[in-house]
Structure 1
Amino acid sequence: MDLKAFFKLSYGLYVISSSVGDHKAGCVANTLNQVTNDPARMSVTLNKDNDTMQTIAKSGRFAAIVLSESTNMELIKTFGFQSSKDTDKFSGYDTKMDELGSPYITDHATARFTCKVVNQIDLGTHVMFIGEVESAEVLSEEPVMTYAYYHQVKNGATPKNAPSYQKETKKVGWRCTICGYIYDGDPLPEDYICPLCGAPASAFEKLS
């Protein structure tokens, strides 16, 4: 099976977020989809171990923003490779509250959606939330980031909790532990600097 075939599917890249009390949670996802038009409803699928998934389950609501191609890897690292249990991901970003009280960032956002959960489906390792769209707004006319663009241009990695995560197989190279950039080849030069986030060679781990 050629796993790269899955990269041909047309996904966007989004930040999904919610809150309970003072706790704010958010994560990068590529699983946001419109499922009906009248009423307007969207689905998003998140891993059960994901703090954002657990926060949405408690709050019954979520916000979603569509990321632009200009999104930097620092934002991807923060919302895609860290846990809201341990990190205030929203610190340092322009954050607003939507009509239902969910936080969302406006940095590199081209559009936003406010959703109220009307159903959820247990998929084993993941949960799919169906949300009725309460509001929607265009924030920018910048080109949107697709999953293919993220992999091909940003050379980004996929978090292990993502539905589209694939284990590395027979690949020689080094991965930046900060942003996920992959350096093809071996050995890694001692003075190498990550072209995306500026991390030194010591921040890279060898792909096995």
Structure 2
Amino acid sequence: MDSTAMFAMSYGVYVVSAEADGLKAGCVVNTAVQVTAEPIRMSVAVHKDNVTASVIAQAGAFTITAIDQTADMPYIGNFGFRTSDTYDKFAKYETAVSGVGSPYCPEHACAVYGCRLIDTVDVGTHYLFVGEVEQAERLSDEPPLTYAYYHSTLKGKTPPKASSYQAE
């Protein structure tokens, strides 16, 4: 099998976040997608070892922000290359609270989606969280950050916990 064929899939770059028992958690993902139109539902894949996965399960809700092309590597690294149990990812940036009670950062985001968790599917290394969208809002007119742009222009790397990670 030619696993490099997976690089032909187009993805965006998102922050998924939640809060439970006073712990704010968030991580960068590239696998968030609208799965139905009526009702509007979205899914997001989060690595089982991420603190964010357990916080989403506890909270029963999550928020996805679509990162826009104004984002730089320090912003992406803040949410993507640290752990929420030892680092407050929301301390450096303006934080708002979505309609489902999750923290999110509107800076460098072109849209926000507040989702009530309706199902969790174990897909091996990741959980696929499915949520019904209770809030959808455009935050800016900036173009969304694609995974291709993240790699080609920002020179970003794929971390081992990413759903698209492939060992070299």
In the superposition, the TM-score normalised over structure 1's length comes to 0.78
In 1, the alpha carbon distance for the partners of 2:73 and 2:97 equals 24
Structure number with the bigger relative contact order (C-alpha 8 A, sep ≥ 6) is 2
In 1, the alpha carbon distance for the partners of 2:93 and 2:34 equals 27
Alignment of 1:46-85 (within 5 A): 46-85=46-85
Query: How far off is 1:2 after superposition?
Result: 4.5
Query: How far off is 1:166 after superposition?
Result: 1.4
Question: Is the 1:118–1:131 contact (alpha carbons within 8 Å) kept by the matching residues of 2?
Answer: yes
* Alignment partner of 1:163 is 2:163: yes
2:96 partner amino acid: K
| Other-structure match for 1:29 | 29
Count residues in correspondence: 168
| Other-structure match for 1:14 | 14
| Other-structure match for 1:135 | 135
Aligned to 1:54, the other structure's residue is in SS state helix
In 1, the alpha carbon distance for the partners of 2:95 and 2:135 equals 17
In 1, the alpha carbon distance for the partners of 2:141 and 2:67 equals 11
* Alignment partner of 1:125 is 2:125: yes
Rg comparison, structure with higher value = 1
Question: Is the 1:68–1:144 contact (alpha carbons within 8 Å) kept by the matching residues of 2?
Answer: yes
| Other-structure match for 1:102 | 102
In 2, the alpha carbon distance for the partners of 1:2 and 1:76 equals 29
2:66 partner amino acid: V
> For the structure 1 residues 150 and 2, does the alpha-carbon distance in structure 2 shift closer, same or farther, using more than 3 Å as the test?
farther
Aligned to 1:141, the other structure's residue is in SS state coil
Query: How far off is 1:165 after superposition?
Result: 0.6
In 2, the alpha carbon distance for the partners of 1:132 and 1:115 equals 5
Query: How far off is 1:126 after superposition?
Result: 1.0
* Alignment partner of 1:87 is 2:87: yes
Query: How far off is 1:60 after superposition?
Result: 0.6
In 2, the alpha carbon distance for the partners of 1:141 and 1:4 equals 32
What residue ranges of structure 1 are gaps of 5+ in the alignment?
169-208
Aligned to 2:58, the other structure's residue is in SS state helix
In 2, the alpha carbon distance for the partners of 1:163 and 1:145 equals 17
In 2, the alpha carbon distance for the partners of 1:99 and 1:163 equals 27
What residue ranges of structure 2 are gaps of 5+ in the alignment?
none
Please provide the CA RMSD for this pair.
1.0
Summarize deviations over 1:106-128 as a string: whole Å, max 9, x none. 11000000000001111121110
| Other-structure match for 2:147 | 147
In 1, the alpha carbon distance for the partners of 2:72 and 2:154 equals 9
Aligned to 1:75, the other structure's residue is in SS state helix
In the superposition, the TM-score normalised over structure 2's length comes to 0.97
